[in-house]
Structure 1
Amino acid sequence: MKRFLLILISVFFVFSGFAQESTKPKIEVKPYGFVAYEAIFDTYKSLDVRDGELTFYPLKPNYDANGNDINKKVQFQMLSIITRFGIKVSGPDILGSKSSARFESDFYATANSYIYLLRLRHAFINLKWENAELIMGQYWHPVIVNEFIPSTISFGAGQPFHSLNRSPQIRFIYHPSKNIRMLIAAVSQGYHRTKGPEDAMRNSGRPELLGQVAYGSAKKIMIGASAGYKWLTPRLVTASGLKIDKTIGQFLFSGFASVANEKTSIRTEVIYGENLTHLVMIGGYGRVTESDLNGDYDYANLRTFSTWVDINHKLSDWELGLYAGYSKLMGSDKNYTSLSGYNRNDDINYIYRISPRVTYKQENLALSLEYMLTTAVYGETFDAHHKVTSSLDPVSNNRVTLSAKYKF
C-alpha cells in the first residue's frame, strides 16, 4: 500500500510538472534579413568609408601645378557588405510585461581595415507593458526616431544630414495616452564616437542624457522634439605632465514632423547642436584660442545646423521617392582654434544633397535605382569664432546606385 501511494504521488508530481511546462509561453525565434547587391558610380572623389559604401560629401578641391583638380575622378564599385541577418526573440511575460530581444548583424564591420567582417548592429532586451516600454542594449541613438528614418537607397539613411548612430543605452518610453509618447534615455558610445580621444565620454564619468516627446501617428500626422546633453573629458594630463580634469558639455535639439496617407508620406527633421560628430555629422570641437598656459587650454564647441525632407509615394509594385538635405557649420560662441582629429571637416561652410529614387518590388525582391547629387562648399577664410567670411567654389559629386535586395 505504501509503495502504491509513493508511485501515485510520483506520477502526480510528474504530470504536475508537465502541466506547468505546458502553461508556460514558448520562446519564439524568428530570423530575418536580406541579401544585398549594389553597383555604385561616382564622378568626384568624396569623403567615404568601406570602399565607398557610405559616402559623406565631395573632398576639398586639390589642384596640381597645371590647375587640374586631382579629386575630379570617375569611380566605380560593386558591394554586398550591407547584407544583413537578424533574430527576433519573443518570450514569456516578465514582471507583467511582454518580453522580447533582438540581435542584428551585417558585414559592414567597424573600421575600413575590417571590411567584410561581421559587426554588431543591434542587440537589446525589450520589456513592454500596456503603457510603458524599457529597452536595454545597443540600438539606434534615441535622437533617431524610427518613424523618421529616410527611405534612401544608398546606405546611411541620408547621413550626414540625418543622424546615423547605434549606441549602448537604457531608455524608458511612456505613453500617457494613445497619441502621446514620452522618452528618457541614458546613452554611452560604441563604435559611433565623437571625434577626438575615443575615451573622452568614458572619462567624463557620465552618460549622454536625452529626452523626447512625440504626438500623433506616423500613418497620419506626427510631430515631436528631442533635447540632449553629453559631457567629454578629452585629456587627463597637460603637455607638461600635470593632472587635469577639464570637462566640456555639448547640447543638441531636434524637431520632426510628418504627414502621411496610405500611399504618400512626407517626413522632415531639423537638428541643431554642438559637436554632432558622434551622429556622423560635420562639426566637432577645438580649443579656446587664448587659453594656453603651461600646455593647458579650455575647449570650444562648433555648432552644426542640419535639416532634411524625405518624400515617398507608392504605386502598386513601384515606389517613387525624393530626399533632400542641407547642413551648415555655424561656428563657435568662443574664439576657436582647430585641434587635429577633434572635428569632421571644420573647414566646411555648408553641404547639400538632392536624391530622387525609384524602386520596383516583387515578392521578396526589390530592385532600386537612385541618383544622388551632393555639393560641398568649403570655407576659405574664417573669423575668430570660426564663422565663414568667404568660400571656395562649390564641388559636386554625382552618384548613381543600382541596388537589389532579397528579403527574408
Structure 2
Amino acid sequence: MKNKFSILLIAFMGLASLSYSQSGNADKKIGINWSGFVKADFMYDTRQVVNAREGHFNILPTSVNMVNGEDINDQANFNILAIQSRLKGAITGPDFFGMKTSGVIEAAFFGNSDGSTGEFRLRHAFVKLSNENLEILMGQYWHPMFVTAVFPGVYSFNTGVPFQPFSRNPQLRITTKGTVKFIGVLFTERDFKTRGASVSQSGIPQVHAQLQFGKATETLGGVGFNLKNSRPQLGEDNLTSTAFIGYFRTKLGDATWKAEVTYGQNMTDVLQVGGFGLANGDYVNNNTLSIWTEFQGDFSETMEWGLFGGYTKNDGFGEAINYVNGFLGSGVESAFRISPRIGWKSGNLKIGVEGEFTNAQYGSIDGNGDINTTGVDAVNNFRLLTTAIYKF
C-alpha cells in the first residue's frame, strides 16, 4: 500500500507540474509550484522527556520515577531523525466569480501517531478565495491561536510547546485586509484533539474571533477570544471552555522582539498543560497561563541568532475534584524554558545549533483543586539540538 501511494504521489507531482488553460478564463492557468525542505535533526537529552515521535517533539522533562531508590527517568537519550522533512504544493487557478483562487497541499513524514512515525501525513490542505478587502480559507490550517505572524523561530519542531499554542484544524476562516484585520474562524478537531472529550459530538464547532493591528514586516499586535464546547460522554452535557490570547512583534534596531500570552481552560487540543475534572457530578475546567518571548536577528548575511524564553502555570480547578483528564497530567504545576540558538546559512542550506533548558515542577492535586508541590523537587532537562535544513 505504501509503495502504491508513493508511485501515485510521484505521478501526481509530474502531472501537476503541467499547467493548462480553461475556456472562458484562458489567461488564467491551473498549476502547482512544489517546495519544501529536507531536515535532519541530531538530539541529545540529559533526561527522559514527555515527547512524541521517538523523542523528536520534545515537550517537558518527565517526573521522578523511583525504582529501587533510583530515579530511572534521570538518564540521557540520543537520536537522529529526518521525519520533519516536508513537501508543499501551492496551487493557482482561474478566478471564482471575480475572486482570486489558490490552494495548498502540504505533507510531511512525521506520521499521525507514534506508531506511524516516518509515514507521510497531511499537514495543511485548503482552498483560498481573496479580493482586495477579504480572504476566505476553507480546509485544514493552523489553529487561530497559532499566529503565523508571531510564533517562535526555534529550530526544535516543538515550536515553543507547551508555552506556545500548537494545532492544525479543519476550518472556515474569514480575514479582512488592511492595517486592522478581523479574523473569524469556525473549526473542528482532527489530529490535535481535546483529551477525554469530543468537540464534534458536542454538535457545536469551536469559534474564534481575533483583531490584529499593524503589519507583519513592522510592528504588529493582536488579541483574540476562543470558545469551545466539548462532550466528555454521549448522553452528558457539554463542557464549555474559553481562552484568550494577546501578542505582538516589533523591530528593535536589527533585531525582532516577539511576545505572546494565553490564558484559557482545558486547552489540551493546543498542547497546553491541564485538562478538565469532575466535581460533584459536574465537569470543571482546568485553567492555564502561558507566556513566551523571543529575540532574534542576524550577525551577518550568513549568520543568525535567537533567544527564546517561556513560562507556563497550572492554575488548578478552583474546587475539589474526584476525576482528572489532561494532556500532560494533573501533576504539572509550572514549567519554564530558556533556549538560545545560532545558525549558519548559505544558499539553500542552513545548519543550526540550539540549546533548550526546560524545568518542570510536578505536584499533586489537593483538596481545593490546586497543585500542591510540597516536598516535590523540580526536574530539569537540557536538549542539545543540531539541525541541517535544505530548502527547495
TM-score, length basis structure 1: 0.88
Residue matched to 1:308: 292
Residue matched to 1:182: 182
Q: Is 1:334 the counterpart of 2:345 in the alignment? A: no
Residue matched to 1:64: 67
- Cα RMSD, aligned residues only: 1.7
Residue matched to 2:195: 195
Task: Please point out which of 323, 336, 352 is paired with 2:336.
Answer: 352
Q: Is 1:168 the counterpart of 2:170 in the alignment? A: yes
Residue matched to 1:285: 276
- Give secondary structure in 1 for the equivalent of 2:269: helix
* Residues 296-334 of structure 1: per-residue CA shift (max 9 Å, x gap): x21011000000011111122111001110001001133
Residue matched to 1:272: 263
1-structure distance, mates of 2:37, 2:253:
25
Are residues 250 and 338 of structure 1, via their aligned partners in 2, closer, same or farther at CA, if it must alter by over 3 Å? Answer: same
Could you tell me whether the CA contact under 8 Å between 2:330 and 2:365 is conserved in 1? no
Could you tell me whether the CA contact under 8 Å between 2:38 and 2:391 is conserved in 1? yes
Are residues 342 and 369 of structure 1, via their aligned partners in 2, closer, same or farther at CA, if it must alter by over 3 Å? Answer: closer
| Superposition deviation, residue 203 in structure 1 | 1.2
2-structure distance, mates of 1:20, 1:232:
47
Task: Please point out which of 29, 34, 39 is paired with 1:36.
Answer: 39
2-structure distance, mates of 1:407, 1:245:
49
Q: Which runs of 5+ in 2 are unaligned?
A: 1-20
2-structure distance, mates of 1:22, 1:69:
68
1-structure distance, mates of 2:290, 2:152:
14
Identity among equivalent positions (%) equals 30
2-structure distance, mates of 1:127, 1:298:
43
Task: Please point out which of 86, 103, 106 is paired with 2:105.
Answer: 103
1:113-262 alignment to 2 at 5 Å? 113-175=115-177, 178-197=178-197, 200-236=198-234, 244-260=235-251
Residue matched to 2:358: 374
2-structure distance, mates of 1:364, 1:136:
31
List structure 1 runs of 4+ shifted beyond 4 angstroms. Answer: 18-22
- Give secondary structure in 1 for the equivalent of 2:200: helix
- Give secondary structure in 2 for the equivalent of 1:24: strand
Could you tell me whether the CA contact under 8 Å between 1:203 and 1:232 is conserved in 2? yes
Residue matched to 2:12: none
Are residues 88 and 393 of structure 1, via their aligned partners in 2, closer, same or farther at CA, if it must alter by over 3 Å? Answer: same
Could you tell me whether the CA contact under 8 Å between 2:137 and 2:172 is conserved in 1? yes
Could you tell me whether the CA contact under 8 Å between 1:87 and 1:103 is conserved in 2? yes
Residue matched to 2:4: none
| Superposition deviation, residue 343 in structure 1 | 4.1
Residue matched to 2:88: 86
1-structure distance, mates of 2:141, 2:253:
28
* Residues 175-220 of structure 1: per-residue CA shift (max 9 Å, x gap): 3xx31111111010011001114xx211110000000001111222
2-structure distance, mates of 1:166, 1:209:
14
- Give secondary structure in 1 for the equivalent of 2:84: coil
| Superposition deviation, residue 286 in structure 1 | 1.3
Could you tell me whether the CA contact under 8 Å between 1:285 and 1:343 is conserved in 2? no
- Give secondary structure in 2 for the equivalent of 1:396: strand
| Superposition deviation, residue 263 in structure 1 | 3.2
- Give secondary structure in 1 for the equivalent of 2:106: strand
Could you tell me whether the CA contact under 8 Å between 2:330 and 2:364 is conserved in 1? no
Could you tell me whether the CA contact under 8 Å between 2:39 and 2:85 is conserved in 1? yes
Could you tell me whether the CA contact under 8 Å between 2:22 and 2:29 is conserved in 1? no
Are residues 218 and 235 of structure 1, via their aligned partners in 2, closer, same or farther at CA, if it must alter by over 3 Å? Answer: same
Could you tell me whether the CA contact under 8 Å between 1:300 and 1:335 is conserved in 2? no
- Give secondary structure in 1 for the equivalent of 2:190: coil
Could you tell me whether the CA contact under 8 Å between 1:107 and 1:115 is conserved in 2? yes
The one-letter code of the counterpart of 1:180 is V
Larger radius of gyration: 1
Could you tell me whether the CA contact under 8 Å between 2:362 and 2:373 is conserved in 1? no
- Give secondary structure in 1 for the equivalent of 2:149: helix
Residue matched to 1:3: none
Could you tell me whether the CA contact under 8 Å between 1:380 and 1:391 is conserved in 2? no
| Superposition deviation, residue 261 in structure 1 | 6.0
Residue matched to 1:53: 56
Are residues 393 and 305 of structure 1, via their aligned partners in 2, closer, same or farther at CA, if it must alter by over 3 Å? Answer: same
Residue matched to 1:294: none
Q: Which runs of 5+ in 1 are unaligned?
A: 1-17, 237-243, 292-296
- Give secondary structure in 2 for the equivalent of 1:209: strand
Residue range with higher mean Cα deviation, 267-276 or 93-102: 93-102
2-structure distance, mates of 1:32, 1:80:
17
* Residues 1-37 of structure 1: per-residue CA shift (max 9 Å, x gap): xxxxxxxxxxxxxxxxx99567331123100100111
Residue matched to 1:393: 377
Residue range with higher mean Cα deviation, 329-338 or 112-121: 329-338
